[in-house]
Amino acid sequence: MPGDNLLKDLTACPRCDKSPLSLKGDHYRCDACKVDFPSVDGIPWLFAEPEASIGEWRNRLHFALRQLANESQRTRTELTECEDGSLTAQRLKKHIEAMDEHRNNLRELLTPVDVQSSQASYESYLALRTRLPTDQGIATYYANIHRDWAWGDEENQVSLDLIKAIAGDEALGDTLVLGSGASRLAYDVHTQLDTDRTVAMDFNPLLMLVAKNVVEGKEVELYEFPIAPKSMNDFAVKRTLSAPKPADESFLLVLADAMRPPFGKGTFDTVITPWIIDIVNEDLRVQAVRINNLLRNGGRWINFGSLAFSHPDRSRCYSTEETVAIVESSGFSAPETKEETIPYMCSPASRHGRRETVFTFAAEKEANVKAPERYKALPDWIVTGKEPVPALESFRSQAMSTQIYSYIMSMIDGKRTIGDMAKILEQQKLMTKEEAIPAIRNFLTRMYDDSQKSSGF
């Protein structure tokens, strides 16, 4: 694979966190773990548990394609109820054609995700505690593809300008863009700033497969489905995605998990984190230490994006002042910071563009810090099944709710009203009729809303 020899000396096994990876034909291998890491259309697949993660993404791909097929069929049903030749009928016909073509384009583009690979042992999978975030799918950040490679020139340029301003005249050297998405910012950094090698890393195969094609000089055709279309012709817009010019072989793509980065300690001169530190499911204090460990002494961490922390624990939703303090306490110099309001996701076909105030900083690594523990997505009592399941208060509440909702579902027979079902719940002494009526109505509303949801593309 082109670029593999340029990448090889940067890698380390994401399973054992220390052994360098070796090249074995068209894939990487950890000789210590005796695990092969496949490639997806030439992009190294360096997840800690490669077979399990490919299986999860494959399932999500198939689910997304089924959703698109269901949405297309539902729209066909709606079309039969429209007056022939009406504006609504015209719009629906175009939308059906676009969805069908879009589904076929996605299936073709994502064919490499169906790679076949050997099965790891169950015990090794348990030991790693790896899994994909449940809120991330093939379509997550789909709109960013079009921003990056079709219509986002203004946003792309101002983003690069902010990175350039905070980086100054200093060379970036070997650079890792952690969570690169569709990778336009990584591409622009590589082609317009002073880098040696640039590694663009993300865990979404759709984003990375699009990036691979365009940086190789190919054109990709995909439909954009704007959130708030400006006109009838904007409900589904076929875009031609392309890069200004092909990237050279020192621009490297990697599929991997940001919380288990497959790189050696002290590997990079620069780590760039665009729009990621506030969305990953890991405390910033731990992230900062991981990034410190990836950098060589004197290397720089450059951050760019929002600070929209949304963790359930309010103590982990950090302010700009706390963010700066955390960076400085993690072996870095006092960060140089900039804040600027820029256009964000302003599609020419949508009314939904906005402006976002981004927080950019650069901090130099001044000291080594102890590496954090291996990331665990799940607690041991779920993974191993050998420890007692804790009697959490949230579990007890959910158990009661589940029993009631299950009982409500069993009462649906096409004859009973909400009042009838509320009366039965009262007779069973589960709740009073006055409490039961709004509870049943809320439950059925959620069920009905779920049944009406579209695919999200």
Confidence of residue 418 (pLDDT cuts 50, 70, 90): very high
The CATH code of the domain that includes 264 is: 3.40.50.150
* pLDDT on residue 405: 82
Domain annotation covers residue 171: yes
Both 350 and 401 in a single domain?
A: no
CA–CA separation, 103 and 222 (whole Å): 10
Confidence of residue 127 (pLDDT cuts 50, 70, 90): very low
Both 345 and 439 in a single domain?
A: no
- The one-letter code for the residue type at 41 is D
CA–CA separation, 392 and 440 (whole Å): 25
Both 174 and 323 in a single domain?
A: yes
* pLDDT on residue 36: 94
Domain annotation covers residue 378: no
Q: Which long-range CB contacts under 8 A does 333-336 form with residues at least 24 apart?
A: 333/363, 333/364, 333/366, 334/363, 335/361, 335/362, 335/363, 336/166, 336/361, 336/362, 336/363
pLDDT digits (tens, 9 = 90+) for 190-223: 999 999 999 999 999 999 999 999 999 999 999 9
Domain annotation covers residue 90: no
Least reliable range by pLDDT among 108-117, 366-375, 404-413: 108-117
Both 207 and 310 in a single domain?
A: yes
Both 441 and 340 in a single domain?
A: no
Both 347 and 411 in a single domain?
A: no
Is residue 237 pLDDT above 70, yes or no? yes
CA quadruple 16, 311, 308, 279: dihedral positive or negative? positive
Domain annotation covers residue 190: yes
Both 399 and 348 in a single domain?
A: no
Domain annotation covers residue 319: yes
Tally of domains in the chain = 2
Both 355 and 397 in a single domain?
A: no
Domain annotation covers residue 18: no
Q: Would strands 195-202 and 295-304 be described as parallel, antiparallel, or unpaired?
A: unpaired
Domain annotation covers residue 68: no
- Mean pLDDT for all residues in the chain: 89
Domain annotation covers residue 102: no
Both 398 and 302 in a single domain?
A: no
Per the structure, the complete domain to which residue 257 belongs is given by 130-364
Pick 61 or 119 by higher pLDDT: 61
pTM score: 0.85
